């Protein structure tokens, strides 16, 4: 499996996963890549632009550096010619490999990200994700509002537009692809302003679609929604046990009549365990945060992380999901700087304390989850110098009426 980059500006610093290199030539080939997701990026004018590349067994991916504003790489028009030259050995002198020391942690960090997750979440415009920071007027109090304004999701598009702007007029009824759904949702939201037409030399129209680098994160159900769906006696439980929110998200990925998911398009790889799409999104968001420096990804990652640490009954309903989550949390914390970001440290310790309390109070918990929690405690002690046991205090008692 190989990645061939062409038309590179000289001296451009290119990043791939945890490695990076300087382009000494206009062509560069990275060989012996593992199958699965990789993150390719570069920095221009102090903005990092990157996108995911999913490589399958035996595949040779050819990308060229884009000259378009806000786009890192794009599909090469002469892909077949470059692939032929690659197989013939024309680019042997331009080949390089990623060190095994950075390959192993990368595979662990992205284990559950599949191609469907990338296609569902990445921006329409060549999948390019631009780095972003918190707004200048950011405060903890305004965090929720700014996050809602900054983040757009497919769920939000459908919920807010289907009644006011009929999305059916934009959707091809025979197209259950993710790309078709995102394009229709974007056009519905903007009243067709997502289309830009350029005249070609022969007078035909070339339609380019773009969405400004929007990452289509899944909307997490709000507390207010949970209250509306339950009786007053369950309000306390709703605030503490977020399994109801996890259930709502999982149902969006269940297939309807074997044709498509409730969210509007067909995703089938995790059909027998749809909760894995949420775990995959957690990893996707973390990579966008770690490698893409995305503020929106930081918000989504924290919301998902907090949600998964607050599902009391979910531990027994979806044991495989939480074993996978524990594994994700372990490798994600391994990549975070320890004892440097007090706010992040406090967030993680609070979440992990809650997660441990849930595991301890759950009857007949999966033994694999106990082992996972033990590994997490060791990581927290090594990374932050904190004994998690010291923070495990008795929480509020839920009284069932």
Kindly report, residue by residue over 90-101, the tens digit of the pLDDT. 888 888 888 888
Predicted local distance difference test score (pLDDT) of residue 128: 83
Whether the per-residue pLDDT at 195 is higher than 60: the answer is no
Predicted local distance difference test score (pLDDT) of residue 196: 36
Which H, E and C letters describe 148-169, residue by residue?
A: HHHCCCHHHHHHHHCCCCCHHH
User: Mean pLDDT, to the nearest integer, of 65-91?
Assistant: 86
Kindly indicate the confidence band of residue 261, based on its pLDDT and cuts at 50, 70 and 90.
low
Percent of the chain predicted with pLDDT > 70: 68
User: Mean pLDDT, to the nearest integer, of 175-202?
Assistant: 50
Residue 66 lies in a domain: yes
Helix (H, G, I), strand (E, B) or coil at 381: helix
In terms of domains, do 367 and 235 share one? yes
Across all residues in the chain, what is the average pLDDT?
Answer: 77
Kindly indicate the confidence band of residue 327, based on its pLDDT and cuts at 50, 70 and 90.
very high
Residue 377 lies in a domain: yes
CATH number at residue 69: 2.60.34.20
Whether the per-residue pLDDT at 198 is higher than 60: the answer is no
Q: Which of 43, 65, 99 is the last residue of a domain?
A: 99
Residue 174 lies in a domain: no
Q: Which domain holds residue 379?
A: 223-384
Predicted local distance difference test score (pLDDT) of residue 281: 96
Q: Which of 24-28, 151-155, 344-348 shows the lowest per-residue confidence on average (mean pLDDT)?
A: 151-155
Tokens of 361: 């109070």
User: Mean pLDDT, to the nearest integer, of 232-245?
Assistant: 74
Measure CA 333 to chain center: 16
The pTM (predicted TM-score) of the whole model is 0.79
Q: In this predicted model, which residue has the larger pLDDT, 234 or 166?
A: 234
* Cβ-contact 177, 92 below 8 angstroms: no
Predicted local distance difference test score (pLDDT) of residue 152: 40
User: Mean pLDDT, to the nearest integer, of 70-90?
Assistant: 88
Bridge partners, residue 142, by sequence: none
User: Mean pLDDT, to the nearest integer, of 172-199?
Assistant: 51
Residue 304 lies in a domain: yes
Residue 188 lies in a domain: no
Predicted local distance difference test score (pLDDT) of residue 178: 63
Kindly indicate the confidence band of residue 392, based on its pLDDT and cuts at 50, 70 and 90.
low
Q: Which of 99, 130, 160 is the last residue of a domain?
A: 99
Predicted local distance difference test score (pLDDT) of residue 112: 96
CATH number at residue 348: 1.25.40
Please name the residue that has the structure tokens 């900054």.
150
Q: Which of 80, 99, 118 is the last residue of a domain?
A: 99
User: Mean pLDDT, to the nearest integer, of 325-341?
Assistant: 86
Residue 213 lies in a domain: no
User: Mean pLDDT, to the nearest integer, of 312-323?
Assistant: 93
Residue 68 lies in a domain: yes
Q: Which of 24-28, 233-237, 267-271 shows the lowest per-residue confidence on average (mean pLDDT)?
A: 233-237
Tell me the helix, strand and coil percentages in the chain, rounded to 5: 45, 15, 40
- In Å, how far are 20, 47, 267, 283, 297 from 130, measured between CA atoms? 18, 7, 26, 18, 11
Whether the per-residue pLDDT at 323 is higher than 80: the answer is yes
Kindly indicate the confidence band of residue 39, based on its pLDDT and cuts at 50, 70 and 90.
very high
Residue 236 lies in a domain: yes
Into how many domains does the chain fold? 2
Bridge partners, residue 2, by sequence: 60
């Amino acid at each position: 499996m190989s990645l061939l980059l062409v038309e590179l500006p000289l001296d451009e610093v290119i990043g791939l996963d945890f490695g990076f290199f300087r382009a000494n030539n206009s062509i560069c080939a990275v060989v012996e890549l593992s199958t699965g997701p990789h993150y390719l990026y570069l920095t221009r004018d102090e903005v990092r632009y990157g996108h995911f590349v999913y490589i399958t067994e035996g595949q040779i991916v050819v990308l060229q550096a884009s000259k378009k504003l806000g786009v890192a790489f794009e599909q090469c028009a002469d892909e077949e010619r470059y692939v032929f030259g690659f197989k013939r050995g024309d680019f042997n002198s331009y080949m390089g490999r990623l060190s095994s020391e950075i390959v192993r942690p990368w595979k662990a960090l992205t284990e559950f990200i599949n191609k469907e997750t990338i296609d569902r979440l990445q921006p329409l415009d060549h999948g390019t994700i631009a780095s972003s920071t918190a707004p200048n007027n950011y405060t903890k109090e305004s965090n929720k509002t700014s996050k809602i304004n900054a983040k757009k999701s497919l769920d939000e598009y459908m919920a807010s537009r289907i009644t006011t702007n009929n999305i059916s007029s934009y959707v091809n009824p025979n197209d259950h692809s993710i790309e078709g759904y995102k394009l229709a949702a974007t056009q519905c939201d903007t009243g067709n302003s997502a289309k830009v037409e350029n005249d070609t030399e022969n007078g035909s129209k070339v339609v380019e679609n773009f969405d400004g680098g929007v990452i289509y994160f899944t909307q997490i159900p709000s507390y207010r929604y949970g209250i509306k769906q339950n009786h007053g006696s369950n309000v306390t439980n709703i605030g503490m046990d977020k399994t109801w929110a996890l259930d709502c998200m999982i149902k969006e990925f269940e297939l309807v009549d074997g044709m498509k998911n409730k969210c509007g398009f067909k995703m089938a790889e995790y059909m027998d365990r749809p909760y894995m799409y949420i775990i995959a999104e957690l990893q996707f968001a973390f990579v966008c945060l770690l490698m893409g420096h995305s503020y929106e990804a930081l918000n989504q990652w924290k919301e998902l992380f907090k949600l998964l640490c607050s599902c009391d009954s979910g531990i027994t309903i979806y044991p495989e999901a939480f074993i996978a989550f524990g594994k994700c949390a372990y490798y994600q914390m391994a990549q975070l700087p320890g004892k440097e970001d007090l706010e992040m440290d406090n967030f993680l310790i609070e979440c992990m304390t809650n997660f441990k309390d849930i595991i301890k109070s759950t009857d007949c918990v999966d033994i694999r989850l106990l082992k996972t929690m033990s590994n997490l405690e060791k990581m927290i002690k090594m990374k932050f110098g904190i004994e998690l046991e010291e923070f495990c205090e008795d929480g509020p008692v839920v009284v069932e009426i």
